[in-house]
């Protein structure tokens, strides 16, 4: 099966999932001609002339049906086939978006900020699957370590690690996995290799002696249970819990704590030493005259959400600070608001 056939198959599979669970939204999905003529720069996946876009699928049901809701229902129905299709869509969307991403400003601002910190004082917890932090040019002397033991590391990745010895190395915990993590379907050994398209997994075999199993993407969706056949996620989860229990300050970057992630919310509620929470995000507002009002409204909404989801469960409430102009202004102590 070539990339074109694979793309058509997975698109049709997704449409069938919508028909099965939400037939009322079927008419909202884009038709073939609309997909082919789409000018969106982010390809769904497949060849360049195969203009099927994940954004079409997402926008078609935006505001009515989210992937979160869809995943939740697939889990309730124990629909393994549907979950596999959606996992593949997520993988391919993240891969294509990461490969062509031309706006690295938020990542660069983050690296500028983290370069000022002491690695012994900071642990990074990322729910992003992409690897853009590690793949960016080394403008700032920082590097990131997943803090887990891989059974195999690609020589190119190992080389990059070796030449990064004289930079600040920060622990990076990824509770939901990463695009550059793969696991062998046969021996269950964990690999770290450059990210690839989903279809390429049909040809990538385990690199360990005596095993001819194929590799598969090692990402985890929080809507489903942690994989019981591999202890990696359990170890990462334990490390996340330990780091949070010892932390006195929590900086949250663009994470909304969705309702299905109660597991992580509970961990934050149990942060006995927490004194300060800082929320950093971007408020996209075209109308400049309304920008200040919009920032105030969004700030209040964020504070209400945090009070409702987490702070209400704490015996001693930490101070909450919100910045909506990203890291650049936040580093310079601009456009931020302290909430008692």
Residue 254 lies inside a defined structural domain of this protein: yes
Give the residue-averaged pLDDT of 168-193.
90
pLDDT tens, position by position, 125-141: 998 888 878 765 567 88
162: pLDDT strictly greater than 90:
no
Q: Which of 235, 261, 282 is the last residue of a domain?
A: 235
Q: Helices in 22-63 by DSSP H: which ranges?
A: 32-36, 54-60
Verify that 62 and 145 share a domain, yes or no.
Answer: no
The verdict on 330 and 251 lying in the same domain is yes
Residue 240: inside a domain, yes or no?
A: no
Tell me, yes or no, whether 173 lies in a domain. yes
Same domain, 128 and 227: yes
220 in the same domain as 253: no
Q: Longest Cα pair distance anywhere in the chain, in angstroms?
A: 66
Domain of residue 65, residue span = 3-100
> What are the C-alpha distances in Å from 90 to residues 29, 113, 219, 332?
17, 29, 10, 35
In angstroms, the CA 235 to CA 231 distance is 6
Q: pLDDT tens, 245-299?
A: 999 988 888 777 776 777 888 888 888 888 888 888 765 554 545 556 666 666 7
Choosing from 235, 259, 291, the residue where a domain stops is 235
Q: Which of 210, 235, 260 is the endpoint of a domain?
A: 235
Specify the pLDDT at position 290: 55
Q: Give the number of domains in the chain.
A: 3
pLDDT of residue 81 exceeding 60, the answer is yes
pLDDT, mean of residues 132-153: 81
300 and 214 inside one domain:
no
- 132 and 225 in a single domain? The answer is yes
**What is the pLDDT at residue 335?**
35
| CB within 8 Å of 163: residues ≥ 6 apart | none
Mean pLDDT of 155-176: 83
Q: Using CB atoms within 10 Å of the CB of residue 17, give its burial: 0 to 12 exposed, 13 to 18 middle, 19+ buried.
A: buried
Residue 334: predicted pLDDT: 36
pLDDT classification of 211: cutoffs 50, 70, 90:
very high
What pLDDT score was predicted for residue 124? 93
One domain, residues 82 and 127 = no
Q: What percent of the chain has pLDDT over 70?
A: 66
């Amino acid at each position: 099966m070539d990339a074109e056939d694979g793309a058509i198959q997975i698109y049709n599979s997704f449409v069938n999932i919508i028909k099965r669970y939400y037939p009322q939204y079927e008419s909202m999905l884009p038709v073939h001609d609309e997909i082919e003529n789409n000018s969106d720069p982010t390809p769904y996946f497949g060849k360049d002339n195969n203009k099927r876009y994940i954004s079409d699928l997402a926008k078609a049901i935006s505001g009515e049906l989210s992937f979160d809701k869809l995943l939740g229902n697939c889990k309730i129905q124990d629909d393994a086939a549907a979950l596999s299709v959606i996992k593949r869509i997520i993988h391919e969307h993240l891969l294509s978006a990461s490969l062509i991403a031309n706006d690295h400003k938020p990542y660069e601002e983050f690296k500028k900020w983290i370069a000022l910190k002491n690695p012994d004082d900071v642990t990074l917890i990322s729910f992003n699957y992409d690897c853009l932090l590690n793949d960016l040019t080394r403008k700032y002397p920082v590097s990131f370590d997943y803090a887990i033991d891989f059974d195999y590391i690609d020589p190119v990745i190992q080389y990059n690690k070796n030449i990064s010895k004289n930079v600040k190395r920060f622990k990076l915990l990824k509770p939901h996995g990463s695009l550059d993590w793969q696991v062998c379907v046969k021996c269950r050994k964990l690999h770290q290799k450059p990210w690839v398209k989903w279809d390429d997994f049909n040809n990538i075999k385990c690199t360990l002696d005596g095993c001819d199993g194929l590799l598969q993407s090692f990402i985890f969706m929080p809507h489903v249970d942690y994989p019981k056949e591999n202890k990696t996620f359990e170890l990462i989860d334990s490390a996340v819990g330990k780091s949070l229990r010892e932390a006195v300050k929590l900086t949250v970057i663009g994470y909304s704590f969705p309702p299905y992630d109660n597991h992580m919310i509970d961990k934050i509620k149990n942060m006995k030493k927490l004194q300060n929470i800082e929320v950093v995000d971007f408020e996209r507002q075209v109308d400049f005259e309304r920008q200040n009002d919009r920032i105030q409204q969004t700030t209040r909404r964020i504070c209400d959400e945090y009070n409702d989801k987490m702070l209400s469960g704490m015996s001693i409430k930490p101070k909450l600070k919100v910045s909506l102009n990203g890291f650049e202004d936040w580093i310079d102590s601009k456009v931020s608001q302290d909430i008692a």
